[in-house]
C-alpha cells in the first residue's frame, strides 16, 4: 500500500514547481555592435571574409563550403520537431564595435557587467582559478587571458580569426580535417560563415599547465552564432579544454551551429568538457536556442580523447561529440548528462568509430526528462574490419520526472571484426516516491531530495568534470529542475 504513486494533485504540484523555473541568464546587454544585414549568398560569405581581413585561401575555403551547403537539404532524421530556421533572415555577422583589447580594463564596461552577471568575472577568474579564457561574445573573441604564460610553453591559444592571420600553416594543415566542409548541413553552413572561435595548439610533449576555457554567449537578437573551434594536441601532449555557454532570453529562436575539431596525435590526450545552458525557451516552449553542433575528434596511435558534457539548455539540441579511433590502442570516452524540461527536445549522443587495433571506447549517457520534454540518446559504435580486439562499453540511463515527458534510446552497432567486443547497458527509471519520502524522513525538503537524487544519478559524469565546472554543473542541474531554487 505504501508503494502507491503520488496522488494526482501532488504530482501536478511538483510538476508545476519544476516547470515554473525561469531561465537565470535571460538578460540582454546593450553593446554597440557591427552587424551585417540578414541573408546568405556568396557576397555575404565574401563580406564576412573581408571584414575579417582573411587571406584568399580562406575566402575560397568558405565559398567551397557555401556551394556545398546550398545543394544540401536540412536533415530530418533526428527525433526533434521544430520550425526550420529561415536562413535568409539571419544576420551572419555581429561584432562588438570596440576591439583591440590589451588589458581587461579596456573592455566595454557593459560587457564586463555581462560577465559579472554570468558569474565569470575575468579578474576573479584570473586571480583565483588559473583558467585562461577566450571569450566569444556574438562571434568575435574579445579577450584572451593568460596568453603570455601559455606562450612560454609554446602553447598557442587564441581566437580563430587571429590564428588564421598568425598561424596560417597550422590552420591550413588541420582545419576541416576532422569535420570536412561537406560533412553535414550545419557543418557546411558553419564552414561558410563562421565568424570566430578558438584555436589551440599544444606542442610535442607539453602538458598544458592550466585548464583552457571558452565562454560562448549569444547576445545580439536575430544573429546566429557560428563558432569554429580547433584543438590540436601534438605528440605526447595533454590539454584540458572547458567550454561554457549561455544565451539571453528572447522570444524568437536563435540558431547556434558550431563545429569543434579535435586532433590528438600519437600519445596525446585531449579532455574536452562542456557545460551548456543556452536559453531553453520559456515554460510554454516559446523561444530558445537551436543548438545544432558537430563535434568530432581524431585519435592517432595511443591517443585519448574524452568528451564530457552537461547539457541543460537549448530548445532543440542536435549534437553527437564523436571520436575516430584511427590509431592503434587509442581511447575514446563520452560522458554526458542531458537535462530537458518544459518543451525542450534533445537528440544527443556520440559516435565511436573504431578503426585501429586494440582501440577502446566508453560511453556513459545520463538523460533526465521533465515537464513535456523529449530526450533521446542516439549513439553509434562502429568497429571496422581492421579493429582487432576493439572494446566498447556503453551505458545509457534515462530518468523520468512526471508522466508527460519522454525518453528514447537509439543505439546503432556495427561490428566488422570477429574479435571486437561490445557491451551495452540501458536503464530507465523514475524518481520514486519511496526515494523522496526516505529523504524527507531524514530531514530533506522535496527539492533538496530531488537535487540529491539527480546528482547521485549523474555522479559518474560529474566526476569527470574539472572541479569548478562540476560545482557549476550541479548548480545548473538544480536550477534546471527545481522551481523555487535560487
Partner 1 sequence: MIEIVNLHASVDGQPILKGINLRIDAGEVHAIMGPNGSGKSTLSNVIAGREDYEITQGDILFQGESILERAPEERAHLGLFLSFQYPVEIPGVTVSNFIKTALNESKKARGEEPLDASTMLKKMREKMDLLEMDKGFLSRSLNEGFSGGEKKRNEIFQMAMLEPKLAILDETDSGLDIDALRIVANGVNALRSPENSFMIITHYQRLLDHIIPDHVHVLFQGKIVKSGDKNLALELEERGYDWIKKEQA
- Rule CB under 8 A: say whether 1 interacts with partner 1: yes
Q: Do 154 and 269 form a contact (C-beta atoms < 8 A)?
A: no
Q: Which is nearer to partner 1, 47 or 452 (CB)?
A: 452
Provide DSSP, 346-414. EEEEEEEEE-STT-EEEEEEEEEE-TT-EEEEEEEEEE-TT-TT-EEEEEEEEEE-SSS-EEEEEEEEE
Q: What cell does 5 get?
A: 504513486
Which span (3-11, 122-130, 140-148, 196-204) binds partner 1, by CB under 8 A? 3-11
Q: Which is nearer to partner 1, 282 or 433 (CB)?
A: 433
- Rule CB under 8 A: say whether 460 interacts with partner 1: yes
- Rule CB under 8 A: say whether 407 interacts with partner 1: no
- Rule CB under 8 A: say whether 448 interacts with partner 1: yes
Q: Which residue among 187, 188, 264, 439 contacts partner 1 (CB under 8 A)?
A: 439
60-99 footprint of partner 1 as x/- string (CB under 8 A): ----------------------------------------
- Rule CB under 8 A: say whether 445 interacts with partner 1: yes
Rounded distance between C-alpha atoms, residue 340 and residue 347, angstroms: 10
Q: Which is nearer to partner 1, 88 or 440 (CB)?
A: 440
Q: Smallest distance from the beta carbon of 444 to partner 1, in angstroms?
A: 5
Rounded distance between C-alpha atoms, residue 64 and residue 268, angstroms: 31
Q: Which residue among 72, 118, 444, 485 contacts partner 1 (CB under 8 A)?
A: 444
- Rule CB under 8 A: say whether 130 interacts with partner 1: no
Q: Which residue among 416, 440, 471, 484 contacts partner 1 (CB under 8 A)?
A: 440
3-state secondary structure of 127: helix
How many binding residues for partner 1 (CB under 8 A)?
A: 29
Q: Which is nearer to partner 1, 4 or 83 (CB)?
A: 4
Q: What cell does 443 get?
A: 530531514
486 exposure class (CB count in 10 Å sphere: 0-12, 13-18, 19+): exposed
Q: Which is nearer to partner 1, 103 or 441 (CB)?
A: 441
Q: Which residue among 79, 121, 362, 435 contacts partner 1 (CB under 8 A)?
A: 435
210 exposure class (CB count in 10 Å sphere: 0-12, 13-18, 19+): middle
Q: Smallest distance from the beta carbon of 439 to partner 1, in angstroms?
A: 8
**Which of 332, 330, 369, 328 minimizes the C-alpha distance to 348?**
369
- Rule CB under 8 A: say whether 455 interacts with partner 1: yes
Q: Which is nearer to partner 1, 451 or 476 (CB)?
A: 451
Which span (105-113, 325-333, 407-415, 430-438) binds partner 1, by CB under 8 A? 430-438
- Rule CB under 8 A: say whether 457 interacts with partner 1: yes
Contacts of 43 by beta carbon, 8 Å cutoff, 6+ apart: none
**Number of C-beta neighbours around residue 129 at 10 A:** 16
Q: Which residue is it, cell 583552457?
A: 212
- Rule CB under 8 A: say whether 8 interacts with partner 1: no
- Rule CB under 8 A: say whether 456 interacts with partner 1: yes
Which span (112-120, 302-310, 313-321, 429-437) binds partner 1, by CB under 8 A? 429-437
**Which of 339, 291, 374 minimizes the C-alpha distance to 479?**
339
Rounded distance between C-alpha atoms, residue 51 and residue 480, angstroms: 39
**Which of 358, 409, 362, 412 minimizes the C-alpha distance to 387?**
358
Q: Which is nearer to partner 1, 162 or 460 (CB)?
A: 460
Rounded distance between C-alpha atoms, residue 239 and residue 270, angstroms: 5
- Residues near partner 1 (CB under 8 A) are 1-2, 4, 6-7, 10, 432-435, 437-446, 448, 452-453, 455-460
Amino acid at each position: 500500500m505504501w508503494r502507491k504513486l503520488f496522488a494526482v494533485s501532488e504530482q501536478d504540484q511538483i510538476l508545476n514547481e519544476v516547470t515554473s523555473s525561469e531561465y537565470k541568464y535571460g538578460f540582454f546587454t546593450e553593446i554597440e555592435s557591427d552587424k551585417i544585414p540578414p541573408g546568405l549568398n556568396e557576397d555575404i560569405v565574401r563580406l564576412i571574409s573581408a571584414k575579417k581581413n582573411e587571406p584568399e585561401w580562406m575566402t575560397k575555403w568558405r565559398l567551397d563550403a557555401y556551394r556545398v551547403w546550398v545543394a544540401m537539404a536540412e536533415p530530418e532524421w533526428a527525433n526533434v520537431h521544430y520550425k526550420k530556421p529561415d536562413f535568409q533572415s539571419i544576420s551572419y555577422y555581429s561584432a562588438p564595435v570596440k576591439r583591440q583589447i590589451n588589458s581587461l580594463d579596456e573592455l566595454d564596461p557593459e560587457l564586463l557587467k555581462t560577465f559579472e552577471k554570468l558569474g565569470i568575472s575575468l579578474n576573479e577568474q584570473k586571480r583565483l582559478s588559473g583558467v585562461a579564457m577566450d571569450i566569444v561574445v556574438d562571434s568575435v573573441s574579445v579577450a584572451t587571458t593568460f596568453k603570455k604564460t601559455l606562450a612560454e610553453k609554446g602553447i598557442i591559444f587564441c581566437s580563430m580569426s587571429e590564428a588564421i592571420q598568425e598561424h596560417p600553416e597550422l590552420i591550413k594543415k588541420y582545419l576541416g580535417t576532422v569535420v570536412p566542409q561537406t560533412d553535414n548541413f550545419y557543418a557546411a553552413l558553419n564552414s561558410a560563415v563562421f565568424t570566430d572561435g578558438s584555436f589551440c595548439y599544444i606542442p610535442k610533449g607539453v602538458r598544458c599547465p592550466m585548464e583552457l576555457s571558452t565562454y560562448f554567449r549569444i547576445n545580439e537578437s536575430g544573429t546566429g552564432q557560428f563558432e569554429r573551434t580547433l584543438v590540436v594536441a601534438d605528440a605526447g601532449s595533454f590539454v584540458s579544454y572547458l567550454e561554457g555557454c549561455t544565451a539571453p532570453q528572447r522570444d524568437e529562436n536563435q540558431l547556434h551551429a558550431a563545429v569543434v575539431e579535435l586532433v590528438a596525435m600519437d600519445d596525446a590526450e585531449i579532455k574536452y568538457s562542456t557545460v551548456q545552458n543556452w536559453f531553453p525557451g520559456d515554460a510554454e516552449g516559446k523561444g530558445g536556442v537551436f543548438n545544432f553542433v558537430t563535434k568530432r575528434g581524431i585519435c592517432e596511435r595511443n591517443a585519448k580523447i574524452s568528451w564530457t558534457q552537461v547539457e541543460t539548455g537549448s530548445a532543440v539540441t542536435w549534437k553527437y561529440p564523436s571520436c575516430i579511433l584511427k590509431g592503434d590502442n587509442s581511447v575514446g570516452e563520452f560522458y554526458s548528462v542531458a537535462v530537458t524540461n518544459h518543451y525542450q527536445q534533445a537528440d544527443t549522443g556520440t559516435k565511436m568509430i573504431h578503426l585501429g587495433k586494440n582501440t577502446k571506447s566508453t560511453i556513459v549517457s545520463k538523460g533526465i526528462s521533465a515537464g513535456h520534454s523529449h530526450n533521446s540518446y542516439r549513439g553509434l559504435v562502429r568497429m571496422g574490419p581492421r579493429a582487432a580486439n576493439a572494446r566498447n562499453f556503453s551505458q545509457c540511463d534515462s530518468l523520468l520526472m512526471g508522466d508527460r515527458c519522454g525518453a528514447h534510446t537509439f543505439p546503432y552497432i556495427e561490428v566488422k571484426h570477429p574479435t571486437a567486443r561490445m557491451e551495452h547497458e540501458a536503464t530507465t527509471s523514475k524518481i520514486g516516491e519511496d526515494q523522496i519520502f526516505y529523504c524527507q524522513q531524514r530531514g530533506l525538503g522535496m527539492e533538496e531530495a530531488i537535487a540529491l537524487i539527480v546528482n547521485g544519478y549523474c555522479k559518474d559524469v560529474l566526476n569527470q568534470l574539472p572541479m569548478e565546472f562540476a560545482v557549476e554543473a550541479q548548480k545548473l542541474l538544480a536550477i534546471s529542475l527545481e522551481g523555487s531554487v535560487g
